[in-house]
Amino acid sequence: MQSEEIRRRFLAFFEKRGHAIIPSASLVPQDDPSVLFTTAGMQPLVPYLLGEKHPAGTRLANVQKCVRTQDIEEVGDKTHDTFFEMLGNWSLGDPDAPDGIGAGYFKEDTIKWSYEFLTNGDDKPEGDKGLGLDPKRLYITCFEGDEDAPRDEESATIWKKAGIPENRIYFFGKKSNWWSPGDNGPSGPDTEMFYDITETGLGDLTKEEFLAADERQDIIEIWNDVFMEYEKKDGKVVGKLKQKNVDTGAGLERLAMVLQKKDNIFETDLFENLLKEINKFSAVDDIKAKRILADHIRTTIFIVADGVNPAKTDRGYILRRLIRRAARNARILKISLDSKLVDLVIAKYSSIYPSLSLEAARIKELVMEEKYSWDRALANAIKFIIPLLERFENGAPIPKLKVLDGKELFKWSSTYGISLEELLELIDEVRLEDGFTKFTPERIEKFIKDFNAETKIHQELSRTGAEKKFKGGLAGHSEKEVQYHTATHLLHQALRTVLGEHVYQKGSNITPERLRFDFIHPQKMTDAEKKAVEDLVNQKIKEALPVSFEELPLDEARERGAIGLFDDQYGERVKVYKVGDEKTGIFSFEFCGGPHVSNTADLRGTFRIQKEEAVSVGVRRIKAILE
């Protein structure tokens, strides 16, 4: 079964069961500064899991784009990738509500439907067709219970009723069978489905044998049903939520792997054409390098399409690292990272995500520009690395090599625009290619340990920052962040008024300290233009314009002139915020799901542009504050 059919059957199955089909949100969280990327299907839905009413109702389903790079070193094995699609269905609210199919649901229906979708075959009518998997190859895990919540015997009982024997159901603790988006927000126990992908089948397994099979990747997790009825604050469960929710997630890549009878995700149709192209020109048989190249170029394309540009920090840094790692692995394979690979990814996905085709030219230009920049940095860095290795090969001990001092390495890293991790990878690569024997992996390990205090401090700060960025959690709703959300709308319209209607949003990021806004514009703004934009925003603050919103059908909102971040994320009904009214005149009319003030006078400050700069070809960035 091809990936397109898996997506189609999933959505048809849950649509028949009363679910509204909503589109994928952007990979760049619009109202959640606590994370760099959308990492799970539930992440854009956190406000609704906490009780806010979703315009599409209480039952939702979609296919959500996700990016996770925490396990980037594992990419190239059977199941790890950095971009993936998550099939998910949700129940928001009371499972005992009286209005039938429009009400919420909880464990009974969730588990029953998960089992049916996995095992139903082609003999079922449209809307009931599933994946036709063998129930004898399914294994189930449930929460074993602790001081926060009881053992989940209810889920185990429902699984047994569905047809899973008791000896294929295993109980584990919070590390395995409890889910939450981070230290704060909705959470709860989960039940996970694993599938045996071995040729002959493993049969019944003890708990220890199950863990060993999971470690060998002879069985893989294919679906996760989360029962959200608890709330976490500061990392601790503090009580029950106002409503019970269901959040499920099934990885498309893994389902394709199982259904296409492959032992890894890279042999599925999702990667097939990409790896054929790589194999056609590669002179080196390095499977992991080929998979890393395929994975990273695919992830790069989706991240760029959602408005991210290479940078030295945050998600821009992650993007730069992905492009450079792709280029480095292409170099290992002795092939060139070229735009044909970009074309193949876009061809595979553009029918599902039309924004890829719309952004194709910009994606290719940005990827190739970054690749050429990396080639230049690489050539300069190698000029530094070879003398370093020659000196060591000739007997100079590590302590006498000034260039091995941590301070000096960071100087080289800054000069060539290469991170410390990349520099170490290059040292090892050049050592192997050019036959240096004394600078062994053990020496490299000692070299890392011998870094001075400055290096260690820098690494610790970087690690702490990265952990904070990927913890997950709720969008910022502090008073200042809410003010900046509304100020962003004023800025967007002011830019269109001053620069022209070609201006539209490419991304934004809001913190309690400032707003950041990316927009389409072909050239640097003049001082006069920046002053005009500032003056217009401040004028609208002083006019004390009312701020309101209404929920509209998407087509009607567009027909009425609503502007916003146009990608694949909008559903059939959208929130449209209006600054001004018929009496004062409407200044801004824009799609948005974030929190806002009720009057521009509530911004209580003077809007000032701190910086205006280029972030890529045709895309500018403004950083601004209210002071």
Q: What is the pLDDT of residue 508?
A: 80
Average pLDDT over residues 321-345: 89
When pLDDT is averaged across residues 232-240 and rounded to a whole number, the result is 83
For residues 296 and 356, membership in a common domain is answered with: yes
Same domain (yes/no): 260, 314? no
The pLDDT tens digits of the residues spanning 337-389 come to 888 999 999 999 999 999 899 889 989 999 998 888 888 877 777 777 777 67
- Domain annotation covers residue 571: yes
**Three-state DSSP state, 89:** strand
Residue-wise pLDDT tens digits, 454-468: 445 444 544 444 333
Residue 103, pLDDT above cutoff 90: no
Where does a domain end: 267, 297, 318?
267
Task: Say yes or no: 236 and 316 in one domain.
Answer: no
Q: Contact, 192 vs 159, CB < 8 A? A: no
Q: Give the per-residue pLDDT at 454.
A: 47
What's the rounded mean pLDDT across residues 221-246? Answer: 88
Examine the pLDDT at 400 and tell me if it is beyond 50: no
pLDDT for residue 101: 56
Smallest CA-to-CA distance from 625 within 600, 607, 605, 602 is with 607
Which one of 449, 469, 489 terminates a domain? 469
SS3 category, 467 = helix
Window from 158-162, 425-429, 510-514, 556-560 with minimum mean pLDDT: 425-429
Domain span at 537: 479-626
CATH number at residue 578: 3.30.980.10
pLDDT tens, position by position, 551-594 = 777 778 777 888 875 444 445 667 788 999 888 889 999 887 66
Q: Write down the pLDDT at residue 536.
A: 96
Please tell me whether residues 618 and 585 are part of one structural domain: yes
One domain, residues 337 and 444: yes
Residues 50 and 193 in one domain: yes
Average pLDDT over residues 414-437: 67
Is residue 613 in a domain? yes
471 has a pLDDT exceeding 50: no
Residue after which a domain boundary falls, among 226, 252, 267: 267
Distance of alpha carbon 300 from alpha carbon 448, whole angstroms = 30
Q: Has residue 179 got a pLDDT over 50?
A: yes
Half-sphere exposure of 537 (CA within 13 A, CB side): 29
pLDDT greater than 90 at residue 177: yes
- Number of domain units in the chain: 3
| Residues 381 and 516 both lie in one domain | no
Burial class (CB in 10 A: 0-12, 13-18, 19+), 220: buried
- Looking at residues 379-405, what average pLDDT do you find? 63
| Per-residue model confidence (pLDDT) at position 181 | 67
Query: To 5 degrees, how large is the angle CA 476–CA 35–CA 88?
Result: 100
My answer on whether 259 and 377 are in the same domain is no
260 and 316 co-located in one domain: no
pLDDT higher for 346 or 53? 346
> 538 lies in a domain?
yes
Least confident of 159-173, 220-234, 547-561, 611-625: 547-561
Q: Looking at residues 601-605, what average pLDDT do you find?
A: 89
Q: What whole-number percentage of the chain has pLDDT above 90? A: 48
CATH number of the domain to which 144 belongs: 3.30.930.10
Joined tokens for residue 199: 């040729």
Least confident window among 126-130, 166-170, 368-372:
368-372
Quick one: pLDDT band at residue 110, thresholds 50, 70, 90? very high
Nearest to 318 by CA among 519, 36, 623, 515: 36
199 and 84 inside one domain: yes
Residue 376's pLDDT is 80
Looking at per-residue confidence, does 479 or 305 come out higher? 305
Residue 541 lies in a domain: yes
Asked if residue 310 and residue 230 are part of one domain, the reply reads: no
Structure tokens belonging to residue 134 = 């063998």
How many Å from the N-terminal Cα to the C-terminal Cα in the chain? Answer: 57
Least confident of 206-210, 255-259, 432-436: 432-436
Residue 474 lies in a domain: no
What secondary structure does DSSP assign to 395-450, as a single string? Answer: T--GGG-GGGSHHHHHHHHHHHT--HHHHHHHHHHHHHHHT--SS-HHHHHHHHHT
Q: What is the pTM of this model?
A: 0.70
pLDDT for the residue numbered 9:
97
Residue 287 sits in the same domain as residue 200? no
Evaluate the CA torsion angle 214, 219, 220, 224 in order and state its sign. negative
Instruction: Compute the average pLDDT of residues 519-544.
Output: 93
Question: What is the model's pLDDT at position 33?
Answer: 66
